[in-house]
Amino acid sequence: MPFPKFEHSSSISNLIYTPQNSSYSSVLHFTLQDLRFNTSSTPKPLVIVTPTSVSHIQSVISCCRKHGLQLRIRSGGHDYEGLSYVSAVPFVVLDMINMRDIKVDVANNNAWVQAGASLGELYYKITQISRNLAFPAGVCPSVGIGGHISGGGYGPLLRKYGIAADQVIDAQLIDVNGRLMDRASMGEDVFWAIRGGGGNTFGVVIAWKVSLVSVPSTVTLFTVPRTLEQNAIKIVHRWQYVANKLPDELYILSVMGKTNASEVGSDSVKATFFGLFLGGINQLLPLMQERFPELGLVKEDCSEMGWAESILNIAGFPANTSLDNLLTRTLLKARTKSKSDYVKEAIPEDALERLWKRFYEVDDLGFMYMVPYGGRMSRVPESSVPFAHRAGYLYKIGYFATWNEDTNRASQRHINWIRKLYSRMTPYVSKNPRGAYINYRDLDIGVNNVLGQTSYAKASIWGKKYYGDNFDRLVRVKTAIDPTNFFRNEQSIPPLL
């Protein structure tokens, strides 16, 4: 097989951690990103394995099958429901943190990247070799490549280049029988399914071969906050009609949420517009004046920088931060709950006013962000990969609540708030089915029975939301490659039984 050599020599006995091992807790918690799943009552794995080779993974699969143990696969630990490291049945965690090699081929504008690498590590490797190449994925440097691509993966380049899964041109997959396969040997159906069909469903992806895309030496970022008194609601309303029709090179994210009292002297709500333009300020300003004058963008709102620096800036790092921060594997951890939606028709202004008031009800950080579509997202067919939300969608919504108080009461209060917000949005978002993004895992919308067989009918309740008409094809692929349903979790594609 034409695979690059990623192997590292290490005895598997040195890579196995049980609760009796002094390093077990630190290994478990290192990339456990959501503190909601870091409690004494949270189920813990019987064993954590941190493989360094294909043979290690093959041995783990064989052992788990033999002893009837469930296998959970973790690359970055950002699963919004903790499914990469939590299970209700006896389980083993296959932690890919030691498998994070990256090989960039500038001559052919592609790279092989192992599943345990983070987005930041890939970005850092690319920018050390070329300042005019990039990869269109997310902005949180610590997110793992393995899970990100397996659920589609998006970021501020999506209007220009689509999602991360669109750029995958080959992969290394270990199936339920321990076979190592590439695109040719797994076949086009399986290769299609793993690019957005959800992690821990079809096997263990150990590496992706991805195309790299071109970016200019200078990009422009801008941040424009607006309060109610500054016509925030009217600007958000107008954004819905403009953002998806702008040139592909311009991405403007809209965020509505509660401000920190220390920012403005008292609790308030504001809308903030974050923009990335693949070009300079002098090109951007006349474009914005012509196409979105309501925002009132001025030169002082803008900063020019390289693409890699823009990732750090969007991620919340201060200006002039060293690119070494892209290598950060853990950022600020918190307790969170997230949900998602897709919008096909602009939300009326009076509905936005009512929505605005909902953010006063949360006592910590709560917000919703709206990701503009259009551009390339409207031109790629929904069937190209299992990512179903393309043409016809104005934008995607992400709802987010985060809190610090470590009590069940606090958790329930915040979870109830985001559920109520989600319920109130029902009239204004996609329908039949109401869409959701698989990488914003949400067990509220349905679960499999991890203790036994899961019916097609039960799985389709959530599967149609994530995958639309692609769900049926994913079930057929699952039936062919994993008929006994070894690779499963609470929201993995089941075989047709």
Residues classed as catalytic:
440
Nearest CA to 393 out of 331, 342, 437 is that of 342
H helix intervals, 257-314: 261-264, 281-291, 307-314
Residues 6+ apart with CB under 8 A from 145: 75, 76, 113, 114, 115, 116, 117, 118, 119, 122, 137, 208
Nearest to 254 by CA among 240, 266, 269, 234: 240
Catalogue the E-assigned strands of 306-449. Answer: 335-343, 365-372, 395-403
- List the alpha helices (DSSP H) in 151-231: 158-161, 183-186, 188-194
Indicate the pairing of strand 70-74 with strand 91-95: parallel
**Are the CB atoms for 366 and 374 separated by under 8 Å?**
no
Radius of gyration of the chain from Cα atoms?
22
Amino acid identity of residue 117, one-letter, is A
Say which residues have a Cβ less than 8 Å from residue 265's Cβ, sequence separation at least 6.
none
Q: What are phi and psi of 449, to 5 degrees?
A: -90, 100
Three-state DSSP class for residue 169: strand
| Bridge partners (DSSP) listed for residue 309 | none
How far is Cα 420 from Cα 154, in angstroms, rounded to an integer?
A: 26
DSSP 211: E
Question: Of 176, 269, 268, which Cα lies nearest the Cα of 488?
Answer: 176
Task: Say if CB 249 and CB 287 are below 8 A apart.
Answer: no
Write out the H or E segment, with its range, that includes residue 128: helix 119-129
Return d(Cα 417, Cα 411) in angstroms, integer: 10
DSSP-assigned letter for residue 307: H
